Amino acid sequence: MCNNAQLMGDHERKKIDIELKVFTLKHFERPSECRNLDQIRFYVRELARKIEEIEKECNYAPDWAYAMLAQYNARQNSFLLAEFRNMYR
């Protein structure tokens, strides 16, 4: 994607945004469409890995990617709470 994070301009940031958006649209379901804990854990891991990879390479990651990760984490927490409640009823 980018080689020198210090010289990265708006065009390169936009390119990263578009590439990451296409990747997530192609490979991920929306958090609300995830139906089980394993699926959501996979998405959390993969998105976090992708964000880390982009940050390491470019010293940048889109804010919306963090917002998306937060949505997946919230969905994961909902699954965990439901699982916890079912165990102790």
pLDDT tens-digit readout, 40-60:
999 999 999 999 999 999 999
pTM greater than the 0.85 cutoff: no
How far is it, in rounded angstroms, from Cα 63 to Cα 40?
Answer: 20
pLDDT at site 1:
56
Distance between CA atoms of residues 63 and 19, nearest Å: 14
Stretches where the chain sits below pLDDT 70 are 1-7
- DSSP code of 36? S
